[in-house]
Amino acid sequence: MEEDQLLEMTGSVEDIVFRNEKNGYTILELNNGQELVTVVGSLPWVSVGEVLHVMGKWTKHPTFGMQFKAEGFERFKPETTDALLKYLSSGAVKGIGPAMAAKIVDAFGENTLKVLEQEPERLTVIKGITKAKALKLSEEFRQSHGVRDAMEVLCGYGLTPEEALRVWRVIGPSCVELIRENPYSICEEEAGVSFEKADAIAAALERPQDDAWRVRAGVEYVLRHNLNNGHTCIPADKLAAAAARMLGVPLELAQEAVEELAGDGTLVRRQLGGRDFIFMPRLLQAEVYPASRILTMLRFPAHPIPGAAGLIEAVERQTGMQYAQLQKDAIREALENGLLILTGGPGTGKTTTLKAIIRILKEKGEQVLLAAPTGRAAKRMSDLTGQEAKTIHRLLQVEWDENDRQTFARNEKNLLDCDALILDELSMVDILLFEAVLRALPLGCRLIMVGDCDQLPSVGPGNVLGDLIASGKVPVVQLREIYRQSMDSLIVTSAHRIVAGQMPELANHSSDFFFLPCPDPDDLANLIVDLCRRRLPASYGYSPMTDIQVLAPGRKGELGTIELNRRLQAALNPPEKGKKEITIHGVLFREGDKVMQVKNDYHLGWTKFDGTTGEGVYNGDLGVLCEIDRKASTVTVQFEDRLVLYEMEAASELELAYAMTVHKSQGSEFAAVVMPMYPGPSQLSYRNLLYTAVTRARSLLVLAGTRQALAAMVENDRKTRRYSGLCRFLLGEGEE
């Protein structure tokens, strides 16, 4: 048996070892007539006793040895009495256990399934089976086989077993008939099958290119696709034009589809700024509710705390601080009105102002909560303020429903217990998460929002910070004055020059900022490696693992994170005898590697060195891969003082982190940042991205590459334009 050789195999299912009911992932024992073979893969509703024809390849599990990984399968009903007994005894038909199975098979032999399906009244000859029970057993049998037959049809259309299972769960028993009538019904969000696959099914069914269902689905697909680019809505004319181009149909057909979808409520039309926009209903709600809630908070503000001037003076005496006028304005706004956006670039005193607000509110007996969108941003907030900060998801107590959709335990019916909420890094918060925060906020609660409007916007849809400021409805204090101690930092002054469209002072060889010219991409990659491995540790004592972070605009190319991680791994953590390695989804991991968690996992357990245990590892958390256990099929990662054990399936949430994208660095801060400056695609070479990267450096910033690439980023004032409605809704537009 050669590993990776594509094979087909037929046999009877002897045992179901494991099954995940949600995704159908199954481990079973298959008797192929010669030996028992372990078969793994998405095999939903397969039962003991059935004959299975599987297509796939051999793989070698580090613990369990050779396994057959099924990529497709066909099922056949059991026919022999032994197989029928195994099948019915396994619980394949609800209501039939081993004892009853033996009686039924003994009575009807190889005709058992025919009796169950077509002649259930004959079952009454068996003691204990009434006519009503016989009919019930027959219905359960037909239903179970209906599910399985539908699964086979769906997989025959090219869906994976996982996709077929999801379609069945969403659409139900009529899914096959519905797909034949309208192949694009499986493109709906909950079913989650790609438009391309639905289009392939439609082509196989010889549906015309201008089929009405196809055009409608194409319009919805284009709209959903743009949500992934940060938009919450699309102008109606742009939507129709984009759909027509993608589908290869006349513009008029796409326009008609937009009208129909808006007419029947599938999509929603709103006029904003004199232009028609099209929303998905859920995204419209996500923008309308926050606008309404913010306006309510302005009408019914938190109770004012009088005597702001005196309270500020008292804090100044206690701390020895002297606040600038804008800082005092921010503190007063927070105390008197309770709704505030505090913004400003690096070195302008946002944290100092925030600490004063927190101090006064706590002295006045208010319950103050702090939150940020990511784990690293929350930790940074905690470190800077000296107060506990949580991720927004943790604060709202994230949960998942039966369809694995995200919900929050904290909502309108279960409000947060607080008098004030301080929300940091608001530029990273998308509209759906902002809506969730406002739904959980008690009426009369203060809301202080902190962010830098010049940083990159959220990954998810919406433009929360920008829209709130643009509306002019929410009080905004923008700190502009750079503190004296920050004026000496070329990192800080360079960041402000970049925002203003000016080149950093490259000739000024400060202690915290350097530009290293290097025109050749291969030489530049080698230079970055040398900076991390030798030059910066030797000159500054920085650790390549904990202090230095390479940031890159994108993932691909000679200077993208994928290639840089490969080079840095080879230099900083080379292979050694006894140092274990493992490949996960095509990426080589080695004990000692710097890694990053790339999604929030609220159920992943951890153990501290003092024995304390808990759950939750968050997107952006950095750690070191300290152990690979092939026998147990696990890896262990140390995140600061926490050890986290990953099963191999969960380890796909890890990436090498010697280099990361600028987008991934949002909300984080590093002692030293190294960034390549080399010509790349315009969508990754713009001012806000450079500014965000520069402001991630706390003590040292090294830009290396070409002046032309740096100048191009400074000059490219492309702020990612997003179509969103929050600003307009705050101004009273877009009403039905």
User: How many Å apart are CA 562 and CA 550, to the nearest integer?
Assistant: 12
What sign does the CA torsion over 617, 621, 624, 628 have?
positive
Question: Per-residue pLDDT averaged across 401-414, rounded?
Answer: 83
Distances, alpha carbon 58 to alpha carbons 26, 28, 249, 539, in Å: 16, 14, 45, 52
User: How many Å apart are CA 712 and CA 409, to the nearest integer?
Assistant: 46
Residue 617 is predicted with a pLDDT of 86
Residue 404 is predicted with a pLDDT of 63
Residue 3 is predicted with a pLDDT of 42
- Structure-block tokens of residue 370: 């702090």
User: How many Å apart are CA 328 and CA 237, to the nearest integer?
Assistant: 47
Question: Per-residue pLDDT averaged across 716-721, rounded?
Answer: 75
Which helix H or strand E contains 164, and what residues bound it?
Answer: helix 161-171
Residue, of 425 and 190, whose pLDDT is higher: 425
Which residues sit opposite 371 in a β-bridge? Answer: 390, 423
Rounded to the nearest integer, the mean pLDDT of the chain is 89
Local confidence band at 4 (pLDDT 50, 70, 90 cut-offs): very low
Question: Per-residue pLDDT averaged across 49-63, rounded?
Answer: 82
Phi then psi for residue 452, to 5 deg, are -120, 110
Helix and strand totals (H; E) in the chain: 27, 30
Candidate from 73-87, 317-331, 334-348, 581-595 with smallest mean pLDDT: 73-87
- Structure-block tokens of residue 735: 């009403």
Percent of the chain with pLDDT over 90: 55
Helices (H), 7-160: 81-89, 98-108, 112-118, 131-156
CB atoms within 10 A of CB 137: 20
Question: Per-residue pLDDT averaged across 426-450, rounded?
Answer: 96
Local confidence band at 719 (pLDDT 50, 70, 90 cut-offs): low
User: How many Å apart are CA 310 and CA 105, to the nearest integer?
Assistant: 89
> pLDDT per residue over 516-569, tens digit each?
999 999 999 999 999 999 999 999 999 999 999 999 999 999 999 999 999 999
DSSP code, position 645: E
CB atoms within 10 A of CB 443: 10
User: How many Å apart are CA 570 and CA 590, to the nearest integer?
Assistant: 10
**Whose CA is closest to 426, among 502, 372, 378, 478?**
372
Q: What is the DSSP string of 114-153?
A: HHHHH-GGGGGGSTT--HHHHHHHHHHHHHHHHHHHHHHH
CA 595, distance to chain mean position in Å, is 18
With contact defined as beta carbons under 8 Å apart, do 551 and 616 qualify? Answer: no
pTM of the model: 0.80
CA 226, distance to chain mean position in Å, is 16
Question: Per-residue pLDDT averaged across 492-496, rounded?
Answer: 91
Which residues sit opposite 420 in a β-bridge? Answer: 368, 446
> pLDDT per residue over 601-654, tens digit each?
877 889 988 888 988 888 888 999 999 987 777 899 999 889 999 987 778 889
Helices (H), 441-511: 464-471, 484-487, 490-499
Residue 140 is predicted with a pLDDT of 80
User: How many Å apart are CA 391 and CA 376, to the nearest integer?
Assistant: 9
> pLDDT per residue over 458-487, tens digit each?
888 999 999 999 999 999 999 988 775 566
Residue 486 is predicted with a pLDDT of 60
Residue 146 is predicted with a pLDDT of 66
Is residue 403 over pLDDT 70?
A: no
Residue 705 is predicted with a pLDDT of 96
User: How many Å apart are CA 552 and CA 521, to the nearest integer?
Assistant: 13
CB under 8 Å, gap of 24 or more: what pairs does 629-635 form? 630/62, 630/63, 630/580, 630/582, 631/62, 631/63, 632/63, 633/61, 633/62, 633/63, 635/582, 635/589
> pLDDT per residue over 545-556, tens digit each?
999 999 999 999
> pLDDT per residue over 125-146, tens digit each?
998 889 888 898 888 877 766 6
Residue 451 is predicted with a pLDDT of 93
> pLDDT per residue over 202-227, tens digit each?
988 899 999 999 999 999 999 988 88
DSSP code, position 8: E
Q: Quick one: 575 exposed, middle or buried, by C-beta within 10 A (0-12, 13-18, 19+)?
A: exposed
Question: Per-residue pLDDT averaged across 452-458, rounded?
Answer: 87
Length of the chain as a residue count: 736
User: How many Å apart are CA 204 and CA 218, to the nearest integer?
Assistant: 18
The upper half-sphere exposure of residue 59, i.e. CA atoms within 13 Å in the direction of its Cβ, equals 13
Residue 1 is predicted with a pLDDT of 38
Residue 368 is predicted with a pLDDT of 96
